[in-house]
Amino acid sequence: MTTTPVAGPDRQTVFDAVKRLVARESRLSIDPQAIPDDEALDGQLLRITSVGLLGMLIRLEDELSVTLPDDIFVGRVMHTVADLATVVTAATRTTGER
């Protein structure tokens, strides 16, 4: 299986998707756009466990048609919404199997 890498999704699209998912995962009934970029993933507002984060990464790959980088689990600490969105923004968009 090979894929054709092209530019990843734009920053705003990624942040919108990330905030929607963290709000859902934390069972919040607020406007996802109201969540600050620097909000902690596991803090006063958001309650994202490692299990929840894993599920979100999978959903983000599917929803944004991206492939997260092979080093996503190496040396990273994802504390905030922006940390997560930055990783996804750097992902490579896939255009399908060849």
**Contact residues for another protein, defined by CB under 8 A:** 1, 40-43, 48-51, 53-54, 57-58, 61-62, 67, 70-79
- Write down the least CB distance from residue 7 to another protein, Å: 20
Closest contact distance (angstroms) between CB of 49 and another protein is 6
Q: Give the nearest distance from C-beta 74 to another protein in angstroms.
A: 4
Residue 12 vs 90, nearer CB to another protein: 90
Nearer to another protein, 7 or 71 (CB): 71
Three-state SS letters, the chain: CCEEEECCCCHHHHHHHHHHHHHHHCCCCCCHHHCCCCCECECCCCECCHHHHHHHHHHHHHHHCEECCCCCCCCCCCCEHHHHHHHHHCCEEEEEEC
Q: Which is nearer to another protein, 12 or 19 (CB)?
A: 19
